[in-house]
């Protein structure tokens, strides 16, 4: 053995010995059995998911209950907004508009941000596991968004799932999919572009129609001979039915075809065929949206609701006003994962606005619990703008208001603003500015 290798190995042995000697006092290598963060002596609010709901909750818990420690765990290195991302796909806004640092709000509001993948939740021990170690909580807020239900189409066929994920990604979860979807939309040379819509409830119901409008605008402007076919399991476009129907008819009559009642029967990604209750469709390219479900973390926390006959609903079964787990007032699920909140209308729209309102609400609930006060239900709202034309820039919108009815259950009022106009696009920009300032900038 030459002297360089001998010295190197000697050094390595010495390091290993030193590590072994000091390991009890201070672990040098993080492992799943290590503690992710030392206890601070303060009661801890642990927030899983640094999206619209999670970051809102983090900021407002810090403000409402400054005596509590707040920790956010998020898998992504930077915040990426899905709202406004359809506009980014056709370059109405740039990447800086969607991407934000996690550390800026963490520093500003005084919480800890940890980039890690959460692998498990042990509610019995009030402990969360990540690849870097575990962390205990006093309060837990899960705002982890959605998962794609590929299994409902393909069962355990990993080949079909991975092929579809790679070739027909939809960019409905903040991830690398966005760059892929943008590239394929811009590279499309013409032919049939199929878009399957998930059955309700799903993330941001009006947004697939907006995406179709903006893609159609792009293809018409670039003179690409494209046919966009929207395969919609619903009997009609919803929400903003009249606004979208007019936009399809008046702006994109030769580009967009909306097919109602197109419940998926079979998807063959390899041969590029979608079989539906409204007929079979061959495609040149596609955005294949599977059914959506609550994020994996809600399943891991054993918080998925049950139908009357005991089957999983696919969504979190939490209190409709306080969002806490059954029999656990200090564990909350907010955002898109939340299941039906009222027999009158089912789910809240799965929107960033709703996730933000729920984040603010749980912050107040946690602050009240920390002070030993009684919780008072907070009623939320929702507002959403959709761009249907890029030149001139014209948007439509939908608003939802809520109240508690005489039967004690939540009631919903929906107001569609179907008249497309520039003023609504400007309001959209103001809306996102207010939202970002509330939780991420």
Least Å distance, CB 345 to ligand FAD, is 17
- CB 358, min distance to ligand FAD, A: 8
* Length of the chain counted residue by residue: 441
Nearer to ligand FAD, 266 or 433 (CB): 433
Whichever of 86 and 361 has its CB closer to ligand FAD, that residue is 86
- Closest by CA position to 179, among listed 190, 192, 166, 161: 166
- Nearest approach in angstroms of CB 16 to ligand FAD is 32
Nearer to ligand FAD, 143 or 342 (CB): 143
- Backbone phi and psi for residue 222, each to the nearest 5 degrees, phi listed first: -85, 0
Residue (207 or 389) nearer to ligand FAD, CB? 207
Q: How many CB atoms lie within 10 A of CB 268?
A: 13
Q: How many CA atoms lie within 13 A of 239 on its CB side?
A: 26
Q: CA dist 69 to 42, 105, 112, 127, Å?
A: 6, 15, 8, 15
Going by C-beta distance under 8 Å and a sequence separation of 6 or more, which residues neighbour residue 241?
416, 418
Integer Cα distance of 290 and 303 in angstroms:
22
What does residue 306 show for φ and ψ, rounded to 5 degrees? Answer: -120, 145
- Interacting residues toward ligand FAD by CB under 6 A: 49-54, 73-76, 82-83, 85-86, 117-118, 143-145, 172, 174, 203-204, 207, 295, 297, 335-336, 350-353, 355, 384
**Residue 175: CB minimum distance to ligand FAD, A:** 7
Residue closer to ligand FAD (CB basis): 164 or 397? 397
* Contact partners, residue 341, CB within 8 Å, separation at least 6: 320, 321, 347, 348, 410
Closest CA to 432 of 97, 169, 67, 88: 97
In the bound state with ligand FAD, the residue whose beta carbon lies nearer, of 73 and 275, is 73
Query: Given the complex with ligand FAD, which of 252 and 348 has the nearer CB atom?
Result: 348
Q: Which is nearer to ligand FAD, 214 or 264 (CB)?
A: 214
Compare residues 102 and 154 and give the one whose CB is closer to ligand FAD. 102
Give the nearest distance from C-beta 9 to ligand FAD in angstroms: 38
Output b/e per residue, 311-337; b: 16+ Cβ within 10 A. eebbbbbbbbbbbbbeeeebbbbbbbb
- CA 129/CA 116 separation, integer angstroms: 10
Nearest CB to ligand FAD, comparing residues 182 and 275: 182
Residue 90 in contact with residue 218, Cβ under 8 Å? yes
| CB closer to ligand FAD out of 122 and 268 | 122
> Which residue, judged by CB position, is nearest to ligand FAD in the bound state?
51
Taking the C-alpha atoms of residue 429 and residue 387, their distance in angstroms, rounded to an integer, is: 11
**How near is the Cβ of 368 to ligand FAD at its closest, in Å?**
22
Minimum Å gap between C-beta 119 and ligand FAD is 7
Write down the least CB distance from residue 424 to ligand FAD, Å: 12
Collect all residues with Cβ–Cβ distance below 8 Å to 294 and sequence separation of at least 6.
144, 146, 147, 304, 314, 315, 316, 333, 336, 337, 338, 339
How many other C-beta atoms are found inside a 10 Å radius of the C-beta of residue 172? 25
Q: How far is the CB of 152 from ligand FAD (least distance, A)?
A: 19
Q: Cis bond leading into 392, ω under 30°?
A: yes
Q: How far is the CB of 143 from ligand FAD (least distance, A)?
A: 4
Query: Does residue 357 contact residue 363 with C-beta atoms inside 8 Å?
Result: no
Q: Shortest Cβ distance from residue 115 to ligand FAD (Å)?
A: 8
Please state, in angstroms and rounded to a whole number, the distance separating the CA atoms of residues 45 and 140: 6
Alpha carbon 53 to its chain centroid, in Å, reads 9
């Amino acid at each position: 053995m030459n002297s360089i290798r001998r010295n190197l190995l000697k050094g390595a042995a010495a390091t290993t010995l030193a590590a072994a000697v000091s390991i009890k006092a201070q672990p040098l290598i993080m492992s799943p059995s290590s503690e992710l963060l030392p206890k601070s002596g303060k009661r801890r609010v642990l927030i899983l998911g640094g999206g619209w709901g999670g970051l809102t909750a983090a900021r407002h818990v810090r403000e409402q209950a400054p005596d509590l420690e707040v920790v956010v765990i998020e898998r992504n290195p930077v915040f990426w907004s899905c709202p406004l991302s359809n506009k980014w796909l056709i370059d109405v806004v740039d990447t800086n508009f969607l991407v934000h640092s996690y550390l800026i709000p963490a520093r500003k509001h005084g919480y800890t941000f940890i980039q890690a993948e959460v692998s498990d939740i042990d509610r019995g021990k009030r402990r969360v596991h990540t690849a870097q170690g575990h962390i205990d909580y006093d309060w837990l807020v899960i705002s982890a968004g959605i998962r794609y239900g590929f299994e409902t189409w393909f069962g355990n066929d990993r080949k079909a799932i991975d092929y579809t994920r790679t070739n027909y990604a939809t960019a409905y979860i903040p991830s690398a999919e966005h760059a892929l979807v943008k590239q394929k939309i811009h590279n499309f040379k013409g032919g049939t572009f199929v878009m399957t819509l998930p059955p309700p409830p799903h993330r941001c119901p009006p947004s697939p129609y907006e995406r179709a409008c903006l893609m159609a605008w792009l293809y018409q402007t670039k003179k690409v001979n494209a046919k966009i076919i929207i395969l919609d399991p619903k009997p009609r476009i919803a929400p903003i039915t009249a606004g979208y129907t007019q936009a399809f008819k008046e702006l994109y009559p030769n580009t967009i075809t909306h097919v109602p009642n197109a419940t998926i029967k079979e998807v063959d990604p390899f041969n590029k065929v979608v079989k539906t209750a409204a007929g079979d469709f061959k495609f040149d390219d596609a955005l294949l949206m599977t059914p959506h479900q609550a994020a994996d973390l809600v399943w891991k926390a054993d918080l998925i609701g049950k139908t009357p006959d005991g089957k999983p609903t696919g969504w979190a079964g939490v209190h409709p006003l306080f969002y806490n787990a059954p029999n656990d007032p200090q564990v909350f699920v907010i955002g898109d994962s939340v299941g039906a909140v009222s027999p009158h209308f089912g789910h809240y729209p799965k929107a960033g606005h709703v996730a933000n309102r729920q984040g603010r609400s749980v912050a107040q609930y946690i602050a009240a619990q920390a002070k030993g006060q009684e919780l008072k239900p907070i009623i939320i709202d929702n507002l959403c703008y959709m761009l249907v034309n890029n030149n001139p820039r014209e948007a439509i919108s939908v608003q939802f208001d809520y109240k508690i009815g005489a039967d004690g259950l939540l009631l919903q009022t929906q107001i569609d603003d179907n008249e497309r106009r520039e003023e609504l696009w400007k309001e959209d920009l103001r809306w996102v500015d207010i939202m970002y300032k509330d939780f991420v900038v």
